[in-house]
């Protein structure tokens, strides 16, 4: 096998692969064996070469690796089609209705607390903050008792999207990782799930603040 011969084979296979998509198992393993032989040869030459020659071999090796990957793609696509066809369907309609109902109930409960706080004499801002605190506390309590995940199974987004879901993820992480101690367990991993929300929420707000500052 020489370098030119290998390039020729690659071009040949490229043509065949662009015309027909599915090969027989026999043809596929033939090509895979050819590619493997070529890859090993070129890799070996690459280690022994230097300078411009080495770059040539590196390019050739990359070409072979690309072809190795492309070779199995059609078979994988065909397989995924079978799997998708046989997969059980998500109960989208039921899930959506449940999410609407439970999400609505949670927000309504929040509204009730808000009104109670306003009646109690708090300002609008104080009432809003207190409502959040109460909702988070309830959610933490339910998580601690082990009921929140049962609720989440049925309600889906209805319990994940509200701020109660956020609290649930922090409390459940804290409970989970307590077994690894307070520093490396709770301390390090308490924000495993909630972290991205905090990071990106804060980041976007900072950007908004800066933009506003410069526009002003």
Partner 1 sequence: MAQKKLGKQTFKFSSNPIISSEAAVVGPMEGKGPLGEKYDMVLDNTFAGENTWEKAEQKMMQYSMELALEKKGFLPSDLDIYLAGDLLNQIISANFTARFLNTPFLGLYGACSTLIEGLCVAGILLDGGFVDRIGVSASSHHNTAERQYRYPTEQGTQRPMTAQWTVTGSGSFVVENSGSGVILTHATIGKINDMGISNANDMGSAMAPAAFDTIKAHLQDTGRKPDDYDLIVTGDLGLLGSNVLKEMMRREKISVDNITDCGTLVYSSNQDSHSGGSGCGCSAIVLSSHFMGKLLAGEYKKIFFVGTGALLSPITSFQGESIPSIAHGIVLEYMGGRQ
Partner 2 sequence: MELLKAFILGGFICLIGQLLMDLTPFNVTPGHILVGYVTCGAILSGLGLYQPLIDWGGAGAAIPLSGFGHSLAQGALEGA
Residues in contact with partner 1 by CB under 8 A are: 72-73, 75-77, 79-80, 82-83, 86-91, 95, 143-144, 146, 148-149, 151-153, 155-156, 159-160, 165, 168-169, 171-173, 175-177, 179, 192-193
Task: Please calculate the CA angle 44-46-47 and round it to the nearest 5 degrees.
Answer: 70
Q: What's the rounded Cα separation, in Å, for the pair 207 and 71? A: 45
Distance in Å, CB of 201 to partner 1, minimum: 19
User: Residue 35 or residue 60: which is nearer to partner 1 going by CB?
Assistant: 35
Residue 42 binds which entry of partner 2, partner 1, none, with Cβ cut-offs from 5 to 8 Å by kind?
A: none
DSSP 183: I
Burial class (CB in 10 A: 0-12, 13-18, 19+), 138: middle
User: Residue 50 or residue 84: which is nearer to partner 2 going by CB?
Assistant: 84
> Hey, which residues between 88 and 107 contact partner 2 (CB under 8 A)?
90, 92, 95-96, 98-107
Of 49, 154, 161, 175, the residue at the interface with partner 2 (CB under 8 A) is: 161
User: Residue 40 or residue 96: which is nearer to partner 2 going by CB?
Assistant: 96
Residue 106 binds which entry of partner 1, partner 2, none, with Cβ cut-offs from 5 to 8 Å by kind?
A: partner 2
Task: Indicate whether 137 belongs to the interface with partner 2 (CB under 8 A).
Answer: no
Could you tell me which stretch among 14-22, 44-52, 154-162, 181-189 binds partner 2 (CB under 8 A)? 154-162
Q: What's the rounded Cα separation, in Å, for the pair 169 and 208? A: 27
User: Residue 37 or residue 80: which is nearer to partner 1 going by CB?
Assistant: 80
Give me 35's structure tokens: 């590619």
Task: Indicate whether 112 belongs to the interface with partner 2 (CB under 8 A).
Answer: yes
Task: Please calculate the CA angle 190-193-194 and round it to the nearest 5 degrees.
Answer: 80
User: Residue 42 or residue 135: which is nearer to partner 2 going by CB?
Assistant: 135
DSSP one-letter string for 55-114: HHHHHHHHHHHHHHHHHHHHHHHHHHHHHHHHSPPP-HHHHHHHHHHHHHHHHHHHHHHH
| Cβ-Cβ contacts under 8 Å for 142 (sequence gap 6 or more) | 148, 151, 168
């Amino acid at each position: 096998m020489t370098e030119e011969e290998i390039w020729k084979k690659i071009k040949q296979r490229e043509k065949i692969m662009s015309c027909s998509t599915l090969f027989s198992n026999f043809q596929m393993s033939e090509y895979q064996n050819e590619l493997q032989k070529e890859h090993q040869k070129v890799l070996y030459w690459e280690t022994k070469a230097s300078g411009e020659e080495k770059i040539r071999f590196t390019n050739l090796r990359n070409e072979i690796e690309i072809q190795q990957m492309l070779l199995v793609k059609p078979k994988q696509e065909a397989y995924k089609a079978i799997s998708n066809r046989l997969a059980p369907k998500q109960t989208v309609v039921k899930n959506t209705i449940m999410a609407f109902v439970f999400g609505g109930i949670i927000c309504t409960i929040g509204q009730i607390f808000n009104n109670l706080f306003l009646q109690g004499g708090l300002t609008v801002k104080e009432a809003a903050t207190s409502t959040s605190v109460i909702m988070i506390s309830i959610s933490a309590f339910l998580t601690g008792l082990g009921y929140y995940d049962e609720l989440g199974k049925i309600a889906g987004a209805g319990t994940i999207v509200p701020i109660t879901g956020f609290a649930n993820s922090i409390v459940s992480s804290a409970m989970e990782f307590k077994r690894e101690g307070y520093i490396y367990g709770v301390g390090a991993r308490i924000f495993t799930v909630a972290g991205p929300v905090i990071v990106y929420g804060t980041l976007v707000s900072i950007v908004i603040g800066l933009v506003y500052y410069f526009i002003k």
